[in-house]
Amino acid sequence: MKKIVSIVCALTLITGVFAQKLDRSKKPAAGPAPEIKLGKIESFTLENGLKVFVVENHKLPKVAYSLTLDVDPIIEGDMAGYVSTTGELMGRGTTNRTKQKIDEEIDFIGATLSTYSSGAYGASLKKHQDKLLAIMADVIMNADFKQDELDKIIKQTKSGLASEKDNPDAIAGNVKSALLYGNKHPYGEIVTEETVDKITLAKCKEYYTTYFRPNVAYMAVVGDITLEEAKKNVEKYFGAWKKGDVPTHKYRTPMAPSKTTVAFVHKEGSTQSVINITYPINLKHNSPDALKAKIMNAILGGGMTGRLFMNLRETKAFTYGAYSRISANELVGSFNASAKVRNEVTDSALVEFMAELNRIVSEKVTEEDLQSIKNKMTGTFAYTLQDPQTIARFAINTEKYNLPADYYATYLKQIAAVTVDDVLAMAKKYIKPDNALILIVGDKAVADKAAPFSADKKVSFYDTYGNNWVEPLKVAPEGMTAANVLDKFIEAKYGMPTGKSLDKKLKKVKDMTMKMSASVQGQAISITRYNKAPNKYAMTITMGPMVIQKQTFDGTKGKMSGMQGEKDIEGDELEELKDNSIMFNDINYASDGNKYTLLGVEPIAGKDAYKIEVTDKNGDKSTDWYDVATSLQVKSMKVSEMPEEAGGGSMTSISEYSDYKVVDGINYPHKIKQTAGPQIIDMEVISIDQNTKLGDDVFQ
């Protein structure tokens, strides 16, 4: 009873104080920044120079060891990509263990081990840490590079690069690096299939033996461990790691453009413009401006409450998102503002971007906006402290970037101390709308709209790697039309021109079965396509005995079934399926209701090809290419709008045809590569059989 009375008294007292003091017409002032207690971080250094930081956390019986190198970035030259390749190779075998043995030993103890170009990470239950450290130390000190493993990595890397070729964000990243930094700077190098092909085992070994040295490394030990245990373990397993002289490198500091320029990368058929407004800034991690600039950028475009997002998405509905970022870096920092917008609003979006950049430079932000960002950053920082790995990273950052010893302990006080005047000063210093590179990846049809934003009112064109781009499309020979090209294609494919003889030949084909093998993200699948005259179609995709997807059209109804269930195909999809289900439908181009326009001659894979734009009955467009020399189709492309629930935007689907072979008098491509967004499917035809008396049940 006494406890209840005391609570009531306390509530009465608090209520009385608020009744006397609270003025509801005024917003309460922000309280003082809370003190941050990061926990005890202890450290020691081995005789070989390895600096170790220990963070005890006894909540779970786990320990993690994280190694980070502190080395300068290097120029990789015509083998760009070999540094990251070295990091992957390290975990694929040592002089004492094969890759298979490493994987088996790590899996057996339920541990994690990964390597990368600037370090390694391992984690396990405490009772298994000796086994983990034995493997981790072996990998770091005794990596044994094998050519077959290098070949696998190169193949995987090239597959990833191929999937990025049509990705506008990847293209923008490459071109931005090339134009801002140049190929004489580490940040300006671009990894390509050509540079990856040149990577040698010797070059990877050279990087490993030169830079993986303890005297330029930091190790964070986090988890259920004491300082004494950590000293014993690290000395036992890494004490024999030999130190060595590690080269340092100096580079010129890239500068922002002297005036705003517009660079454009043409992406065939794109319905969107990917906009980046960017330039280098002189901002290091240990700069007293770093935190203030971060707060300023958060107001400008750091998230969904940023001005860019609220303007371009919420007010104008130009995009699904618009953001900006200020990045500090060891050599040179950068600013970047970006969005993906519809073609028709490219210039309008640029107007709003520039308006917001100029606004934050010329006007003070409000106290309310500043406090809102401070509150968000304070909460986010406090949340990250729950992870002991964060504390370890703070310790390494403090050492690596020469930060004040109390930088993170006073982080919230630093945030609280930032004023609206500080924000304006940071904007004036780092936001440069008059010294920016405006980079746009999209269809060149909108390039003229961007010209007014360049200081010289001109647009410079570049290819996907930042080289000067020259319009590859040449005028077709006089008198050549789309109909001429398609007639030649039909004759090349079927062995005779369109006419009664061809009709008679094709009517003899009652059904056809095509079997293909394919690879998707390294997984082998089988694809079988069935056609039956006049217009029945089915396709199955299997992985081993499992049917992943099946699509059918029985002449009237279309269905799609697979691992996610079954559904009827309707609307425009059904109409497209009907057209595609007609056997040898390409001979009917003159009567299919589509419009065919010959645009010119363009090189495809180094050979000239006729480029034809196809406009269907709904006004949707696609593009086909036909080899000038053989008249056979070598490529097709279609851009489709994606529904908002799938992320919106557009997706480009590309099919490439090669290795033509004649089967039963018809010329079929036996290698087909299909790209849809990041997905790439390489298909190879195994067999084509005609007139096997397919039953109608196949198409149900």
Radius of gyration of the chain (CA): 31
State the Cα–Cα distance between residues 460 and 440, nearest whole angstrom: 10
Contact between residue 109 and residue 131 where contact means Cβ atoms under 8 Å apart: yes
pLDDT at 649: 59
pLDDT at 648: 55
DSSP labels, 366-396:
PHHHHHHHHHHHHHHHHHHTTSHHHHHHHHH
Structural domains present in the chain: 41-238 (3.30.830.10), 261-462 (3.30.830.10), 482-699 (2.50.20.10)
Contact between residue 79 and residue 197 where contact means Cβ atoms under 8 Å apart: no
pLDDT at 111: 96
pLDDT at 164: 85
Element (H, E) at 3: helix 2-21
Contact between residue 350 and residue 338 where contact means Cβ atoms under 8 Å apart: no
State the Cα–Cα distance between residues 694 and 700, nearest whole angstrom: 12
pLDDT at 331: 92
- pLDDT at 367 exceeding the cut of 80: yes
- pLDDT at 29 exceeding the cut of 70: no
Q: Which residue has the tokens 């373990």?
A: 233
- pLDDT at 24 exceeding the cut of 80: no
DSSP labels, 562-617:
ETTEEEEE-HHHHHHHHHHHSTTGGGGGGGSS-EEEEEEEEEETTEEEEEEEEE-T
- pLDDT at 7 exceeding the cut of 70: no
pLDDT at 493: 96
- Compute CA 210 distance to the chain's CA centroid, rounded to the nearest angstrom: 30
- Sign of the CA dihedral with 224 first, then 228, 233, and 234 last: positive
Tell me the average pLDDT of the chain. Answer: 90
Quick check: bond before 534 cis, omega within 30? Answer: yes
State the Cα–Cα distance between residues 37 and 432, nearest whole angstrom: 38
Calculate mean pLDDT across residues 377-403. Answer: 88
Q: Are strands 459-462 and 261-266 parallel, antiparallel or unpaired?
A: parallel
- Compute CA 506 distance to the chain's CA centroid, rounded to the nearest angstrom: 46
- Nearby residues of 186 by Cβ (< 8 Å), 6 or more positions away: 73, 74, 75, 76, 251, 331
State the Cα–Cα distance between residues 461 and 306, nearest whole angstrom: 31
Looking at per-residue confidence, does 579 or 153 come out higher? 153
Contact between residue 132 and residue 111 where contact means Cβ atoms under 8 Å apart: yes
- Nearby residues of 380 by Cβ (< 8 Å), 6 or more positions away: none
User: 181-208: buried (b, 16+ CB within 10 Å) or exposed (e) per residue?
Assistant: bebebbbbbbbbeebbeebebebbeebb
- pLDDT at 8 exceeding the cut of 60: no
pLDDT band per the 50, 70, 90 thresholds, residue 523: confident
Global confidence as pTM? 0.81
CA distance between the termini of the chain: 78
pLDDT band per the 50, 70, 90 thresholds, residue 39: low
Looking at per-residue confidence, does 307 or 17 come out higher? 307
pLDDT at 23: 58
Calculate mean pLDDT across residues 515-536. Answer: 90
State the Cα–Cα distance between residues 313 and 299, nearest whole angstrom: 15
- pLDDT at 545 exceeding the cut of 50: yes
Residue 341, exposed/middle/buried by CB under 10 A (0-12, 13-18, 19+)?
buried
Residues pairing with 222 in the sheet: 55, 64
pLDDT at 53: 95
pLDDT band per the 50, 70, 90 thresholds, residue 202: very high
From 462, 435, 438, select the one nearest 449 (Cα to Cα).
Answer: 438
- pLDDT at 654 exceeding the cut of 50: yes
Contact between residue 679 and residue 651 where contact means Cβ atoms under 8 Å apart: no
pLDDT band per the 50, 70, 90 thresholds, residue 502: very high
Collapsed DSSP state (helix, strand, coil) of residue 263: strand
The per-residue pLDDT for range 304-320, each reduced to its tens digit, is 999 999 999 999 999 99
Q: What share of the chain is helix, strand, coil (3-state, %, to 5)?
A: 40, 30, 30
Collapsed DSSP state (helix, strand, coil) of residue 649: coil
Looking at per-residue confidence, does 34 or 431 come out higher? 431
Q: Which residue has the tokens 């134009």?
A: 179
User: 212-225: buried (b, 16+ CB within 10 Å) or exposed (e) per residue?
Assistant: bbbbbbbbbbbbbb
State the Cα–Cα distance between residues 421 and 699, nearest whole angstrom: 71
Q: Which residue has the tokens 């280098």?
A: 280
